[in-house]
Each structure stands twice: as structure tokens, then as C-alpha cells.
Amino acid sequence: MFRCPDRLRVFIVLALILPSGRLAWGHPPATIELQYDSQTKVLHAEIGHVTHDQKGHHIRRLYVYKNDAPIENFPYAKQTTSTTLVQDVPMEASSGDVIRVKAVCSEAGYKEETLIIP
């Protein structure tokens, strides 16, 4: 009968257990939707990030840049809902300006999205 060495046994157990636990670990934001209203001069940002613990695993910080210059920096203790963070940013923007938003997760990673003002 074939005997499995201890190292191989440990490797097999870890290979089976670790992928199943990955779903419980942090993950970066999934989506960022940006809209700029030139009438009200407000950037509307919706960040999609699903969490079951809005205080422990959430969007930690939102950075807003215009033409690569920092405009705003928003820290958060929790998300708006368990699936989304919503932020309105009053700002002046003209045709051709490049607006970039970076959303940072409290546990893992970030996502960026860019909007060019028409």
C-alpha cells in the first residue's frame, strides 16, 4: 500500500482548505461609476464593493484628482450600504478635464476610474 509522506499530506490539506477561505478575505472594489453634472458642478461617484461587515471591511478612502492634481481625500469608517459607497464631490470642471477617482479597500486593494469631461 502507498504511504503518503507527511509533507505531501500537509500540502494536500492546505491545497484543499486555502481556496475555500479566499472568499472570506478582503477584495478590492468591483466597480466605479462616475458622472459629472456641469449645471450643479458636482461629481457623483458610486463605488461597488460587496461586504458583510460595513465597519470592518469597507471602502477606507476615496481620492479624487483633476488633471492629476489632488482635489479631495475622503476617509470612511463604513460604507453607505453593504454593496455601495456613494459620494458627491462639488468641483469645477471644464471640457477636456480628466477626473480620476481611486477607491481603496480597508482590507485589500484598490480600483481607479477616469472620466474625461466632454
Per-residue pLDDT at 13: 57
Do the Cβ atoms of 20 and 99 come closer than 8 Å? Answer: no
> Cα–Cα distance between 113 and 36 in angstroms, integer?
13
Mean pLDDT over residues 40-50, rounded? 98
Q: Give start and end residues of each alpha helix (H) in 1-118.
A: 6-21
Chain-centroid distance of CA 88 in Å reads 16
Per-residue pLDDT at 114: 99
Would you list the domain boundaries of the chain?
26-116
- pLDDT at 10 exceeding the cut of 80: no
CATH entry, 26-116, from 3.30.565.10, 3.40.30.10, 2.60.40.730, 3.20.20.70: 2.60.40.730
pTM above 0.85, yes or no: no
- pLDDT at 3 exceeding the cut of 70: no
Do the Cβ atoms of 49 and 59 come closer than 8 Å? Answer: yes
